[in-house]
């Protein structure tokens, strides 16, 4: 009996292609400076560590819908920090990190062969993974007119963008919401970098009343605490928005046993309730960003977009793999723009999530 291996349906895991360059970078006498992945390196905030300790005695099963106090903390944070109003407790669902939701959401909402799923031209690869897993058809575009008469079942947007740091303005977001509602297209906004903004227009949630009016119909927003609160290892995230869509996700996830562990739910509430640690982390990243951007520009690179997120979208107008090789020779590992679609082939993504010492080392090597 033959069977289809699920792995054969998926694109190659991008970071496997960086292995040779990573090995070369590690040969540097002072070791590698890895700026390829936006992994937090600073301590998990004390408020989160204490919350985990306090909730460590947790022998029972958690519930999929999550603790009411955790969901309320998400609602309060969205209103306090991002002006989102009108959400109820049944419009929020905790996640075991945002990546698992992005990869599973199309299938969990019943999409499959014959359905079109649109993602940005420059895109986090997991959007395409989720499309492949459910057998739907992917399309990479930032243009609504490019779709012509096609009506997507689902559209992903990502602001601030990974990898480019581009921020979509209120007028643009409102137009996308209206377009999707007119056609019955589910709109899902990946807003994991919404608090990582540095210059220009402040990122706005698709759930903000200036964007979606007084209704969240047809819209979901995905949020993560990995970057804001250095909680990547805790897998703390949530999705919020349309009541019926959240309810459908909940019904499916109950059957699959997708439950955020109870201690992590307590941590997420504590982290969302506390803005002080997030502001301190924002200041750290802002300082690293300024140092690294100056070093890249002094070395002849142009930084495009990058108003937000944790990356500098950099180019010197050559094939991205040539740029990756150039960095590796200096002991620095960066991500090729081709990982994020054909539109990124002449850029590299440079993360500024390394320690102050490693960022300074990278800048020194750029000068050499």
CATH of the domain at 81: 3.40.640.10
Instruction: Provide the number of structural domains found in the chain.
Output: 2
Instruction: Say whether both 300 and 357 belong to one domain.
Output: yes
Look at residues 280, 287, 288, 176 and name the one whose alpha carbon lies nearest to residue 221: 176
| Tokens coding 148 | 């012509």
Is residue 50 situated within a structural domain? no
| Domain finish residue from 272, 293, 328 | 272
53-81 average pLDDT score: 96
What's the DSSP call for residue 164?
T
Instruction: Say whether both 208 and 146 belong to one domain.
Output: yes
232-237 average pLDDT score: 94
Is residue 187 situated within a structural domain? yes
Model's pTM, two decimal places?
0.94
Instruction: Say whether both 226 and 251 belong to one domain.
Output: yes
- CB neighbour burial string for 222-253, b if at least 16 within 10 angstroms, e if fewer: bbbbbbbbbbbebbbbbbbbbeebbeebbebb
Instruction: Say whether both 164 and 297 belong to one domain.
Output: no
Q: Are 298 and 366 spatial neighbours (Cβ–Cβ below 8 Å)? A: yes
What average pLDDT does the chain have?
A: 94
289-295 average pLDDT score: 98
Look at residues 49, 46, 96, 51 and name the one whose alpha carbon lies nearest to residue 69: 51
Instruction: Say whether both 167 and 210 belong to one domain.
Output: yes
Instruction: Say whether both 117 and 192 belong to one domain.
Output: yes
Give the model's pLDDT for residue 3. Answer: 61
Write out the H or E segment, with its range, that includes residue 278.
helix 276-298
Instruction: Say whether both 328 and 264 belong to one domain.
Output: no
| Domain finish residue from 272, 299, 332 | 272
**Torsion angle of alpha carbons 363, 355, 36, 304, nearest 10°?**
-60
Is residue 48 situated within a structural domain? no
Instruction: Say whether both 334 and 198 belong to one domain.
Output: no
CATH number at residue 284: 3.90.1150.10
- Give Cα separations from 236 to 231, 263, 266 (angstroms): 7, 11, 10
Give the model's pLDDT for residue 38. Answer: 86
Look at residues 150, 161, 129, 92 and name the one whose alpha carbon lies nearest to residue 312: 161
Give the model's pLDDT for residue 9. Answer: 64
Instruction: Say whether both 150 and 267 belong to one domain.
Output: yes
- Name the residue with higher pLDDT: 245 or 19: 245
| Tokens coding 105 | 């959401």
13-23 average pLDDT score: 82
Look at residues 94, 76, 239 and name the one whose alpha carbon lies nearest to residue 156: 239
Give the model's pLDDT for residue 368. Answer: 79
| Tokens coding 351 | 């993360």
Whether residue 10 is predicted with pLDDT greater than 90 in this model: the reply is no
Is residue 159 situated within a structural domain? yes
Q: Are 201 and 167 spatial neighbours (Cβ–Cβ below 8 Å)? A: yes
34-50 average pLDDT score: 94
181-186 average pLDDT score: 97
263-282 average pLDDT score: 97
313-317 average pLDDT score: 97
Between 2-11, 113-122, 287-296, the lowest mean confidence (pLDDT) is in 2-11
Question: pLDDT class for 201, splitting at 50, 70, 90?
Answer: confident
Give the model's pLDDT for residue 247. Answer: 97
Whether residue 266 is predicted with pLDDT greater than 90 in this model: the reply is yes
Q: What percent of the chain is predicted at pLDDT more than 90?
A: 93
Whether residue 275 is predicted with pLDDT greater than 90 in this model: the reply is yes
265-276 average pLDDT score: 97
Instruction: Say whether both 146 and 33 belong to one domain.
Output: no
Whether residue 366 is predicted with pLDDT greater than 80 in this model: the reply is yes
Give the model's pLDDT for residue 156. Answer: 98
Give the model's pLDDT for residue 359. Answer: 97
Whether residue 125 is predicted with pLDDT greater than 80 in this model: the reply is yes
| Domain finish residue from 247, 272, 297 | 272
233-237 average pLDDT score: 94
Domain carrying residue 329: 6-43+277-367
Instruction: Say whether both 174 and 253 belong to one domain.
Output: yes
Instruction: Say whether both 359 and 308 belong to one domain.
Output: yes
Give the model's pLDDT for residue 166. Answer: 96
């Amino acid at each position: 009996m033959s069977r289809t291996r699920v792995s054969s349906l998926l694109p190659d895991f991008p970071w496997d292609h960086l292995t040779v360059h990573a090995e070369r970078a590690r040969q540097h006498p002072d070791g590698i400076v890895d700026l390829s992945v936006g992994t937090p390196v600073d301590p998990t905030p004390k408020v989160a560590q204490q919350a985990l300790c306090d909730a460590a005695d947790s022998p029972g099963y958690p519930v999929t819908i999550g603790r009411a106090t955790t969901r309320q903390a998400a609602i309060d944070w969205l209103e306090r920090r991002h002006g989102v109003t009108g959400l109820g407790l049944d419009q929020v669902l905790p996640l075991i990190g945002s990546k698992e939701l992005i990869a599973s959401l199309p299938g969990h909402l019943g999409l499959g062969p014959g359905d079109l799923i649109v993602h940005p031209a420059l895109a986090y690869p997991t959007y395409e993974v989720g499309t492949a897993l459910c057998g739907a058809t992917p399309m990479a575009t930032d243009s609504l007119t490019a779709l012509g008469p096609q009506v997507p079942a689902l559209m992903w947007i990502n602001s601030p963008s990974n990898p480019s740091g581009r921020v979509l303005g209120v007028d643009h977001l409102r137009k996308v919401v209206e377009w999707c509602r007119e056609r019955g297209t589910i709109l899902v906004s990946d807003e994991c970098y919404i608090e990582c903004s540095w210059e220009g227009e402040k990122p706005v949630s698709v759930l903000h009343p200036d964007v979606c009016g007084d209704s969240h119909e047809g819209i979901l927003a995905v949020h993560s605490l990995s970057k804001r609160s250095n909680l990547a290892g805790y897998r703390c995230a949530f999705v919020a928005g349309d009541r019926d869509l959240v309810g459908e996700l909940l019904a499916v996830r109950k059957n699959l046993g997708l439950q955020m562990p109870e201690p992590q739910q307590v941590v997420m509430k504590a982290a969302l309730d506390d803005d002080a640690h997030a502001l301190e982390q924002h200041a750290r990243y802002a300082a690293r960003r300024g140092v690294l951007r100056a070093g890249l520009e002094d070395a002849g690179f142009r930084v495009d977009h990058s108003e937000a997120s944790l990356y500098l979208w950099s180019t010197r107008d050559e094939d991205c793999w040539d740029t990756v090789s150039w960095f590796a020779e200096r002991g620095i590992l960066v991500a090729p723009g081709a990982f994020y679609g054909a539109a990124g082939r002449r850029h590299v993504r440079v993360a500024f999530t390394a320690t102050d010492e490693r960022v300074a080392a990278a800048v020194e090597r750029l000068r050499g």
